[in-house]
Amino acid sequence: MFKGINDPIEIRVPMKLSLCPSPRGRPVDFRKDEQILKAAGQLFMREGLQGTTMEQIAKEANVSKLTLYRRYPDKNALFMEIILSKCEHYLPDDILQVPDNLSGREALERLGIALMQLITSEAGLDLNRLIITETTHNPQLGRAFYARGPEPFHNAVNAIMERLRERAELKTDDTALAADFYVALLIGNRMCEGRRLNLIAIPTEIQIEHYVKSAVAFFLKAFN
């Protein structure tokens, strides 16, 4: 159906990933989580969320259904973990902060480069297409994804704007609006449009860096 969710990106399994505790105090085998996430990703891309069953996932991952259900109550939970693992690969928590040793310009450039690398990558595009397809049939999944993905991201960008305002590096009375303008500069350009329509190849790091630096310079000039 789609490809890209299983490109060579490490799936990092945090200590809190499994949604159900291991029985009788036994330690969780995180290798099982990796097997499950990889198998589920392959099936979701090939069959879609609606066309995939938990039984298929267990078989593909070479685990029992009991093991699967102990970790994930349903395939929606699995789907969400796969999406978030991809997002966290490109946008780790430290990217969404403004360290004291970075200027506002540097922090915005760092975030912008990471975001554009995500949304122009094969994995990012394929995930976006799959999310749009599946949430058409399952609006509840769309709400859950927004609550765990885009909403925290927008909140984090707003927090960055507030931090820059506190440091007198940004002049605005509406940091949320500034955050929206900043993100729009990154996702609404011709490079991203071309990737979404499969008209151009994945941009190089140099191309992304050049665009982001120009966009940040324009943004800061508008708000100072």
Shared domain check, 175 and 159:
yes
pLDDT digits (tens, 9 = 90+) for 30-69: 788 889 999 998 898 888 888 999 999 999 999 999 999 9
Shared domain check, 105 and 76:
no
Model confidence at 26: pLDDT above 50:
no
Long-range pairs, 6-13, Cβ under 8 A, ≥24? 6/38, 6/41, 6/42, 6/45, 7/121, 7/122, 7/123, 9/86, 9/89, 9/123, 10/89, 11/37, 11/38, 11/82, 11/85, 12/85, 12/88, 12/89, 13/37
pLDDT digits (tens, 9 = 90+) for 169-178: 999 999 999 9
Shared domain check, 2 and 70:
yes
Measured in degrees and rounded to the nearest 5, phi and psi for residue 63 equal -130, 160
Model confidence at 7: pLDDT above 50:
no
Model confidence at 168: pLDDT above 80:
yes
pLDDT digits (tens, 9 = 90+) for 121-135: 998 898 888 888 888
> Which of the two residues, 28 and 73, has the higher pLDDT score?
73
Domain boundary among 88, 107, 134: 88
Q: For position 19, what pLDDT does the model report?
A: 46
Our CA dihedral for 10, 84, 81, 192, rounded to 10 degrees, sits at -90
Domain of 9 in residue numbering reads as 1-88
Predicted structure pTM score:
0.75
Q: What CATH number does the domain containing 74 carry?
A: 1.10.10.60
pLDDT digits (tens, 9 = 90+) for 80-100: 888 888 778 777 888 888 788
Shared domain check, 109 and 210:
yes
Q: For position 18, what pLDDT does the model report?
A: 44
Model confidence at 27: pLDDT above 70:
no
Q: For position 36, what pLDDT does the model report?
A: 94
Shared domain check, 98 and 207:
yes
Q: For position 28, what pLDDT does the model report?
A: 61
Shared domain check, 203 and 192:
yes
pLDDT digits (tens, 9 = 90+) for 9-22: 343 444 344 444 44
Q: What CATH number does the domain containing 192 carry?
A: 1.10.357.10
The count of structural domains within the chain is 2
Q: For position 129, what pLDDT does the model report?
A: 87
DSSP assignment letter at 15: T
Q: How confident is the model at residue 195 (pLDDT cuts 50, 70, 90)?
A: very high
Shared domain check, 141 and 172:
yes
